[in-house]
Chain A
Amino acid sequence: MNSNAIAADSLQPFQRAVTQDMVAAYADISGDRNPIHLDASFAAGTEFGGIVAHGMLLYGFMCDAMRRAHPGPWESTGRMRARFRDPARPGDVVTVTGTLSGAGAAGAEGDTTFRYSLECTESDGRVLATGNAEVTIRSHESSAGEQSMESEERGVDE
């Protein structure tokens, strides 16, 4: 295993309050203006009974947990597989947690791939989304390595 690779047993947990303003802003930046996210009267008639946040909002929260832990390597080697289980709604407070689920040698000598299991949960205990993430730490960089270091090694698309 790469002696420079550092991975904590758990990711630093954090919370995000989901608001209608946040959902509306996400609709604008993503281009997904499905009325289930924006129109209360429409959403009331759906199986959800009201407005729900985009699943990709939760995806972004989980990716942020990975970026915080592995800035640089996340952008250059990261993978996130997420399942959206129960929608977040405006007013929910989402807690994002993650634990290290495994580590192993990656392709190149000395490189290490770390695997994490992540969850987004609401304060009432509902599991909103789960994720499985991977990130590879190259032998020449630490977990918090500068992006410029890895970019020079791997080549950055311009």
Chain B
Amino acid sequence: MTSKPTLADITSGFEFRPILVDVSVERVQEYLGVLQATPLDSNARLVPSEAAITFALGALLDQYDLPAGTVHTTQDVRVERPLRLGTKVMCTARVSNRSHRGEMAVILLEISLTTHRDSNEVAMVGTSTLLIQQPS
């Protein structure tokens, strides 16, 4: 059995392998249901950015484990272009900075979601700050 590398191992400038992210109506509805948030109405055509970024972060965790005790301290997401429900988007991400605060590594993760078609237009961009316990 092989284990995934962890986010504690990655360095500044590291780029994740691009990965497709599914933003189906059913998945978005499930996400909104967990939050007890306003459900999609019957006319809804667009993906709420909060759902898309949640799925994108989850897709990155398919590649790298989050070390136990990791703390998420900030999140910024901006919609560049509306994204239709039921599409798949390409998620790319890189570590734009890594620094240290005591025994914790501070990782700045830049995420971009692009439409998965020829034009590859950016739909959403986000930045996450994670505090990760350094391996002892």
Contacts and interface: CB of A to CB of B under 8 A. Distances in A.
Given A56-B57, A147-B44, A75 B79 contact: yes
Interface residues of B, number: 49
B50 A32 contact: no
A91 interface: no
Nearest to A157: B115
Interface stretch (A1-9, A64-72, A107-115): A64-72
A137 interface: no
Contacts of B69: 34, 36, 46
B5 interface: no
Interface residues of A, number: 47
Given A25-B34, A57-B35, A75 B70 contact: no
Contacts of B89: 157
A42 B72 CA distance: 18
Contacts of B49: 63, 75, 78, 80
B83 A31 contact: no
B4 interface: no
Contact of B46 (A42, A54, A76): A76
